[in-house]
Structure 1
Amino acid sequence: MTDIATRVWNHKWKIDPIVRSLIDTDFYKLLMCQSVFRNRPDTRVTFSLINRTTRIPLANLIDEGELREQLEHVRTLRLSRGESTWMRGNTFYGKRSIFSPAFMDWFEGLQLPPYHLDRVGDQYELRFEGPWPEVMLWEIPALSILMELRSRAVLHDMGRFELQVLYARAMTRLWEKIERLRPHPSLRIADFGTRRRHSFLWQDWCVQAMSEGLGDRFTGTSNCLIAKNRDLEAIGTNAHELPMVYAALARDDAELARAPYDVLADWHEEHDGNLRIILPDTYGTQGFLDRAPDWLAGWTGIRIDSGDPAEGAETAIRWWKARGEDPREKLIIFSDGLDVDRIEALHEQFHDRVRVSFGWGTLLTNDFRDLAPGDALAPFSLVCKAVAADGKPTVKLSDNPRKAMGPEGEVDRYRRVFGVGAQREMEVVV
């Protein structure tokens, strides 16, 4: 097993680039990329870094030269033969060759496009512009780089023994969480922690610990490189990016109202089974379900990623019942701001009413709260989102207004079109 503390102490080693593969990314990005490659390859998008936790002065912590070096390294990466073989020949969600030959031919020749980096006060402005299938693959590497450079900056002046103790405490903390989850035999949980991880090596350690500690209750990881290297299931379906871009491209209010369902109609043509998971909260869960076409009720499940998770689950259960579906045969995936207390509570509340699964993110792969002086390693909320499509701004409403994004006028328009009423604000943990 890798001695992480020693590798961190030798922090100048070039053996540790932050992103070491084009498949050091979340599985859903590759699935979505294939859908975009097939359905909207000529759309041009802009992705932008958004630091929701403005008290973290990234530009003061992270050296611009180091940031550029890591970003440039990502542009040198190409899919290796072994990675290509894994994608072309592996079985994902029970389906072999899920990635088409045309998509794989394109991906094997891909170089990620250039980036735009500027310092604005104590923050960085980082943007990616170009064809949607290319630009979208910058999101996860960009977040991973910034999160790990922040970790490296905090750890830079720590001594070897101090680092050993810090990582020993973090390992103990995670193992204690795993021990709390062990008594739940019906638990199903996966690693969703790539985008805001402490580091690649730490995520890899966390995945190994979860696999050993929970056995088959640990269903896999969203990180494709770790899934490949550790012979685990790659987990993921789709995200808010798809409806946000489809909606931005709408020519009028009628097309805007249809956009979230157009996304899933395209997805329906490509995937079946456990890949048919609805993410309903981009423009408000209740309104989305109220207006959903009947064929969506037959999908496998729903992922809850904002708002009160218990309320979201109850809304989904009521919707299935109203559409003549048996909720006990449906899957609810909880994936927002999870830690062990909430996982236990939600599992206890819903495991005998629906099939329950958890996508555990930041507080699995980056829980160093109170372990560094001044709590300098506490996780924070950093995102990289599609902010424009073919020159038109994107909008996200969410079930938590604190996660909303977009120009004020467009946010108001979307709230009107999608019938979003009063919403309750909730703290954005990570």
Structure 2
Amino acid sequence: MADIATRVHNHKWKIDPIVRSLIDTDFYKLLMCQSVFRNRPETQVEFSLINRSKTIRLAELIDEGELREQLDHVRSLRLARGESTWLRGNMFYGKRQMFRPDFMEWFEGLRLPAYHLEKHDGQYELTFEGSWPEVMLWEIPALSILMELRSRAVLRDMGRFELQVLYARAMTRLWEKIESLRTIPGLKIADFGTRRRHGFLWQDWCVQAMMEGLGSAFTGTSNCLIAMRRDIEAIGTNAHELPMIYAALADSDAELRQAPYRVLADWQEEHDGNLRIILPDTYGTEGFLAGAPDWLAGWTGIRIDSGDPATGAETAIRWWQSRGEDPREKLVIFSDGLDVAEIHALHARFVGRVKVSFGWGTLLTNDFRGLVAGDALAPFSLVCKAVAADGRPTVKLSDNPEKAMGPADQIARYKRVFGVGAQAHREVIV
């Protein structure tokens, strides 16, 4: 196991680029990329970095030259032979050859497209433009780079012993969380922490700790590179990106209203079983479920990723019941800003009523709260989102208005089309 403190102390080593591989990314990005490659390969998109935590002035913390060096390194990466073999031959979700030969040939030849970087009012404006299958693969590396460069900036002046104590405290904190989670009977939990991790080495350590501490209750990791190296399950389905872009391409209100369902109709052609998970909150969960076609009620489950998680799960249970489905046979995956106390509470409330699972993200792989002066390593809310498709702006409403994004006039239009009324505000931790 790596001596993380020593490696961080010598973080200029070339052995430690922030992003080490094109598969140092979330599994759902590759699943979505294949779907986009098949269904919308010519769509031109723009992705942009969005720092929701305005008090974290990234352009004042992170050296521009160092940022460019890390971004340029990602552009030099190609899929390695062993990585290609793993993607082509490994079993994912019980299925071999999850990735089709034509997609793999394209991916094996891919280099990520150019980026555009500027500074404005203490923040970095980082954007990527081009064809959707290429540009979408920048999202996770971009977030990983900014998050880890912020960590490095805070840790830069610490000595080796100070770093050893810091990581010992963080390790102790995580192990205490794992010991608490051990007491939950029938727990199923996965690592979803790539995008806002403290660093690659730390995420890898967290995964190994979960493997040892939780055994079969730990179901896998969203990170493809770690899944390959540690011989565990790669976990992930789909994300808000798909309905956001399909919706932006709609030519009328009627087409807009149907866009989220068209996404899942395309998805259903490729995937079954535990990959048929609905993410209903892009334009409001209640409206999405009310207008959903009957075939969606037969899907395996739902992921709750914004708003009050208990309310979202209760809404899903009522919907399944209204469609003649038994909620006890359905899977609910909670994945929004979770930590141990909420995992305990949600499991206790819903166990036996649905099949309960958790995707544990930032507060697994980046919980250094209170461990350095000024709480300078506290996690913050950084995203990289599709902001335009074929020149049209994208919109996300969410079940939490604090996560909404898009031009104000388009947000108003989408709320009208999708029948979104008053929403409860919920603090965005990550």
| Range class of TM-score, shorter chain | over 0.9
Distance 2:12 2:143 in 1: 21
User: How many Å separate the matches in 1 of 2:11 and 2:372?
Assistant: 17
Matches within 5 A, 1:186-201: 186-201=186-201
Query: What residue number does 1:12 align with?
Result: 12
Matches within 5 A, 1:268-417: 268-417=268-417
Partner of 1:65 in structure 2?
65
Q: Which amino acid aligns with 2:346?
A: L
TM-score, scaled to structure 2: 1.00
1:172 aligned residue: 172
Q: Is the 8 A contact 1:239 1:279 kept in 2?
A: yes
Deviation string 1:349-387 (CA, Å, 9 cap, x unpaired) is 001110000000000000000001110000000000000
CA distance in 2, matches of 1:197, 1:415: 33
360-369 vs 176-185, which deviates more? 176-185
- Aligned residue in 2 for 1:157: 157
**Alignment check: 8 A CA contact 1:44 1:131 kept:** yes
Which deviates more, 289-298 or 177-186?
A: 177-186
The CA distance in 1 between the partners of 2:42 and 2:425, in whole Å, is 37
User: Structure 1: which amino acid aligns with 2:155?
Assistant: L
Matched position secondary structure for 2:422: coil
After TM superposition, give the deviation of residue 194 of structure 1 in Å. 0.1
Q: 1:422 and 1:324 mapped to 2: Cα distance?
A: 29
Q: 2 CA distance for matches of 1:59 and 1:429?
A: 21
Partners of 1:424 and 1:208 lie apart in 2 by 37
Supply the distance in 2 between the matched residues of 1:279 and 1:61 (Cα, whole angstroms): 35
Tell me, in whole angstroms, the C-alpha distance in 2 between the residues paired with 1:127 and 1:9. 31
Paired residues of 1:143 and 1:195 also in contact (CA < 8 A): yes
Give, as a single letter, the amino acid of the residue that structure 2 aligns with 1:71. Answer: L
What one-letter code is carried by the residue in structure 2 that aligns with 1:29? K
Q: What displacement does 1:68 show?
A: 0.1
Do residues 77 (structure 1) and 77 (structure 2) align? Answer: yes
Structure-1-length-normalised TM-score: 1.00
Deviation at 1:270, TM superposition (A): 0.4
Partners in 2 of 1:12 and 1:21 — Cα distance? 18
Residue in structure 2 matched with residue 235 of structure 1 by the alignment? 235
Other structure's SS at 1:126 match: strand
- May I ask how many residue pairs the two structures share in their alignment? 430
What secondary structure, in the 3-state scheme, does the structure 2 residue paired with 1:353 have?
coil
**DSSP-derived class of the 1:211 partner:** helix
What amino acid is aligned across from residue 201 of structure 1 in structure 2?
L
Q: Deviations over 1:78-109 (max 9, x none)?
A: 00000000000000000000000000000000
Q: Give 2:141's aligned residue.
A: 141
SS at match of 1:229: helix
CA deviation digits over 1:32-90, x for unaligned, max 9?
00000000000000000000000001001000000000000000000000000000000
Asked if residue 424 in structure 1 is aligned to residue 427 in structure 2, the reply is no
For residues 405 and 61 of structure 2, the distance between their equivalents in structure 1, rounded to whole angstroms, comes to: 26
Answer yes or no: is the 8 Å Cα contact 1:35–1:267 preserved in 2. Answer: yes
Q: State the one-letter code of the partner of 1:304.
A: I
Once the two structures are overlaid, the 10-residue window that deviates more, 8-17 or 127-136, is 8-17
- RMSD, matched Cα: 0.4
Q: Deviations over 1:287-316 (max 9, x none)?
A: 000000000000000000000000000000
Which AA in structure 2 matches 1:331?
A: L
Give 1:321's aligned amino acid.
Q
Q: Is the 8 A contact 1:362 1:379 kept in 2?
A: yes
Match of 2:123 in 1: 123
Contact residue 306 and residue 400 of structure 1 kept, 8 A: yes
Q: Distance in 1 between matches of 2:394 and 2:204?
A: 34
Identity %: 82
State the one-letter code of the partner of 1:78.
Answer: R
In 1, the alpha carbon distance for the partners of 2:341 and 2:97 equals 38
In structure 2, how many angstroms separate the alpha carbons of the residues matched to 1:36 and 1:10? 40
Q: CA deviation at 1:183?
A: 1.3
Deviation of 1:11 after TM superposition, in Å, equals: 2.0
Measured in 1, the distance between the counterparts of 2:125 and 2:110 equals 25
- Find the counterpart in structure 2 of residue 250 from structure 1: 250
Name the aligned partner's letter for residue 182 of structure 2. Answer: R
- Native 8 Å contact 1:185 1:217 kept in 2: no
Rounded Cα–Cα distance in structure 2 between residues aligned with 1:309 and 1:184: 18
Deviation per residue, 1:175-228 (Å, 9 max, x gap): 000000101120000000000000000000000000100000000000000000
The residue that corresponds to 1:27 in the other structure is: 27
Tell me the distance in 1 between the aligned counterparts of 2:230 and 2:15: 20
Q: Within 5 Å, give how 1:85-104 maps onto structure 2.
A: 85-104=85-104
Q: Please give the alpha-carbon distance, in whole angstroms, between the structure 1 residues aligned to 2:32 and 2:115.
A: 21
Does residue 212 (structure 1) correspond to residue 212 (structure 2)? The answer is yes
| In 1, Cα distance between equivalents of 2:427 and 2:334 | 17
Shift of 1:14: 1.3
Q: Hey, what's the Cα distance between the residues in 2 that align with 1:10 and 1:303?
A: 40
Q: Using the alignment, how far apart are the partners of 1:10 and 1:401 within structure 2?
A: 42
Shift in Å, 1:143: 0.1
Quick one: distance in 2 between partners of 1:132 and 1:17? 26
Question: Structure 1: which 4+ aligned runs deviate by more than 2 Å?
Answer: none
Partner of residue 114, structure 2: 114
Aligned counterparts of 2:304 and 2:95: Cα–Cα separation in 1 = 25
Q: Per the alignment, in what secondary structure is the counterpart of residue 256 of structure 2?
A: helix
CA–CA separation in structure 2 for the residues paired with 1:11 and 1:393: 39
Query: How many angstroms apart in 2 are the aligned matches of 1:429 and 1:186?
Result: 27
